[in-house]
Structure 1
Amino acid sequence: MDSVTLACGNGGKETNALIERVFMPYLKELISAFDEDAPKFKASGEYCVSTDSFVITPLIFNGGDIGKLCVCGSANDVSVQGGEPLYLNMGFILEEGLEIPLLKHILQSIQKELFKANLKLLSLDTKVVPKGSVDKLFINTTCIGKIIKPGISSRHLKQGQAIIISDTIANHGASLFAMRHEIKLKTNLQSDCQLLYPLLKPLFLSDLKIHALRDATRGGLASVLNEWVNSSRVKIVIEEEKIPLKEETKGICEILGLEPYALANEGVFVLAIDQKDAPKALEILKSNEKAKNACMIGGVFENPYPSVVLKNAWGFERILEAPEGELLPRIC
């Protein structure tokens, strides 16, 4: 089998061949019940569920591919709710003609991230559509996680809290801009795509109170902060010079006239914590090499008009608006 055919979606021999020869070598030991339509599992306690769809182009990018992205992205949505990711459901929409070697490459990435995250596959589905109906491959995921750090909400921001970011921003969005065929920039910049739970677990197990937590994906830092101020009816002031930014990312943004605050990340989170707890939170985060750039970038203030304010090194302030329009389609 060199490529996916329409017959691979007929539910018969060709479907079985696709599943058994292509999918199962990578996923069989991770799936709960290979031969059941609806696997069962036992649960007690408080859980959270997140559904996401992945349509990124190109399928393989600097720092990852759609396989790595779909596992990390879905697990991260659960993690930032204070949950430990446990189970994943996956649906694959395959375009007729999709090359089997490419599909295997993506499945291998999925396998690697599932093992890394200690995630179990509850169920998996495949559909094949005629050529041109989708662009090669779309993946839908649903992640289920158990809450181990309750009380996290975008409605819990109050005056006196600090805003912390875990790493340099905008690397995912900037690297994709550089990769797209119409923008011929040479760069070694990679996506920041990664699992966030290993970074967050020590914080969750500490006695620190986390008020709000979010992964800064589509719309980047600007989107997260604007959602927070509107949910909690507060003002957030961010110091521009404190926001960690790689020189390559800064250069790409300057060349293309982009604001890094609005570009997507796939391995960066923002959290709100009491000012007095910020040093301890940073100490915990920086103990992990992948969060060595974590820093406090601003604070929360009372204000009758929700707003995000960006203050530069000279003390001048401007409103940081939520992103508008489509900067770069299909980034995740």
Structure 2
Amino acid sequence: MTKPEPGKLMRPQRKLRDGIHVPKVTLAHGGGGKAMRDLIDDVFVSVFDNPVLAPLEDQARVSLSELALHGDRLAFTSDSFVVDPLEFPGGDIGKLAICGTVNDLAVGGAKPLFLSCSAIIEEGVAVALLRKLARSMAEAAAAAGVAIVTGDTKVVGHGACDKLFINTSGVGVIRAGVDLGAHRAETGDAILVNGLLGDHGAAILVARGDLHLETPIESDCAALNGLIDTLLDACPEVKFIRDATRGGIATVLNEIAEASGVGIEIDERAVPLRDEVKGFCEILGLDPLYLANEGKIVLVAPAALAEKARAALASHPLGRDAAIVGHVTAGPAGRVVMQTKFGGKRVVDMLVGEQLPRIC
């Protein structure tokens, strides 16, 4: 028998099943027998296929020496996705699950490597839809350079969940010399973002159709590990990075201010927003600073390196509209304020409640 390469596992000598031939998922597909195996092979294994997943053991087995090639600290994260609707302009729950988990690793300076995928499926969901969403996950994982190596499938009765919930966990390795944290912001540091804000939150609400709006807004859903690699290669002195998902950049800025015991001031005129999102927020009375993003980061960099960091972001397709939006102040500690375009200032508090539920 041929010896497997280091860090790789031999594919088991078995063929995938032919697939399932019913249009909708039934409770039998969660029962642990042939129907369940057929569903897993047909929908998930056929598109997630890779050497670590192939043995289909109860755990993925990865060489520690292979991990150590990338750094000396392990990064591990987990997230759940319950977005409604499952498909929306610019993405779907599958792409969102992959990109969201990749980004949670990348903002800590880690190279994302391996993901898990656990799906909770409501009885009656169309099998064709599941296949489509699984393909979307596989494509997003391939684009991000990660492998889906383990997972789980559960089927619940009609009404016990809303069509499909996905949990993804991710493992990555933090590169040597990188030390990112919300506690590292200091007076004078610059605050940057990598582009137009609020697109995901706006796209989800438009996709729900409750408002009968025809505004062409697409989610910014994207894996940001390539962008972050470009940034850190050019400017390793960056102190903090976080993806601005639920709660928008306002929440991230408040977290920085609280963790570092500093103040933060941003300039409304510098905050990048597309006209459609501005109009959308004006109509609905929403604040775009709190709208969710799925392809945007907030970062803190030393003032002297702010333009260098902005240029690094702008050199990548996902950072073309990067901007310096504010700076860190001496205080009051924990307070974020915005200089308005009218010349006044207003406090930007932490989001209370949920502006838009089930956006991710």
Q: Give the TM-score band, short-chain normalised.
A: over 0.9
* Alpha-carbon distance between aligned partners in 2 of 1:103 and 1:110, rounded to the nearest angstrom: 11
Distance 1:15 1:182 in 2: 36
Structure 1 SS opposite 2:272: coil
- SS of equivalent to 2:197: coil
Q: Confirm whether residue 326 of structure 1 aligns to residue 354 of structure 2.
A: yes
Instruction: State the aligned residue count.
Output: 332
Q: Distance in 2 between matches of 1:126 and 1:275?
A: 48
> TM-score under structure 1 normalisation?
0.97
Q: Which runs of 5+ in 1 are unaligned?
A: none
Q: In structure 1, what residue type is equivalent to 2:121?
A: L
Equivalent residue number for residue 121 of structure 2:
94
Q: Partner residue of 2:45?
A: 24
Q: Is the 8 A contact 1:75 1:143 kept in 2?
A: yes
Q: CA deviation at 1:283?
A: 1.4
Residues 199-278 of structure 1 aligned to structure 2 (within 5 Å): 199-278=227-306
Q: Partner amino acid for 1:210?
A: V
**Mapped partners of 1:63, 1:48: distance in 2:** 28
Equivalences for residues 43-192 of structure 1 within 5 A: 43=64, 44=68, 45-148=72-175, 150-192=178-220
Distance in 2 (CA, whole Å) between partners of 1:143 and 1:52 is 9
Aligned partner of 2:4 in structure 1 is: none
State the shift of 1:31 in Å: 4.9
Q: Is residue 30–residue 120 contact of structure 1 (8 Å, CA) maintained in 2?
A: no
Secondary structure in 1 matching 2:124: coil
Instruction: Give, as a single letter, the amino acid of the residue that structure 1 aligns with 2:186.
Output: K
The one-character-per-residue Cα deviations of 1:113-146 (angstroms, maximum 9, x if unpaired) are 1111111122111000001000000000101111
Higher deviation after alignment, 286-295 or 63-72: 286-295
Aligned counterparts of 1:84 and 1:35: Cα–Cα separation in 2: 24
The offset of 1:177, in angstroms, is 1.6
Q: Which amino acid aligns with 2:208?
A: R
Where do 4+ consecutive residues of structure 1 move more than 6 Å? none
Contact 1:28 1:34 in 2 (8 A): no
Matched residue, 2:60? 39
> Residue 160 of structure 2 aligns to which amino acid in structure 1?
S
Q: Match of 2:39, as an amino acid?
A: L
Distance in 2, matches of 1:53 and 1:70, equals 7
What residue number does 1:316 align with?
344
Query: Which moved further from structure 2: 18-27 or 95-104?
Result: 18-27
- The answer to whether the 8 Å contact 1:26/1:107 transfers is yes
* CA–CA distance in structure 2, aligned partners of residues 192 and 31 of structure 1: 30
CA distance in 1, matches of 2:75, 2:139: 24
Per-residue deviation at 1:305? 2.9
Percent identity (aligned): 40
Q: Deviations over 1:84-113 (max 9, x none)?
A: 110101110011111011101101100101
Of the structure 1 ranges 264-273 and 118-127, higher mean CA displacement relative to structure 2 is found in: 118-127
Q: 1:245 to 1:304 in 2, by over 3 A?
A: closer
- Residue type at the aligned position of 1:62: P
Asked if 2 retains the 8 angstrom alpha-carbon contact of 1:30 and 1:121, the reply is: no
Q: Supply the distance in 2 between the matched residues of 1:207 and 1:188 (Cα, whole angstroms).
A: 35
Provide closer, same or farther for how the CA distance between residues 92 and 21 of structure 1 changes in structure 2, counting only shifts above 3 A.
Answer: same
In the alignment, is residue 290 of structure 1 matched against residue 311 of structure 2?
A: no
Q: CA–CA distance in 1 between the matches of 2:60 and 2:352?
A: 42
Long gaps (5+) in structure 2: 1-21
Structure with greater Cα Rg: 2
Q: Residue 13 of structure 2 corresponds to which residue in structure 1?
A: none
Question: 2 CA distance for matches of 1:167 and 1:104?
Answer: 32
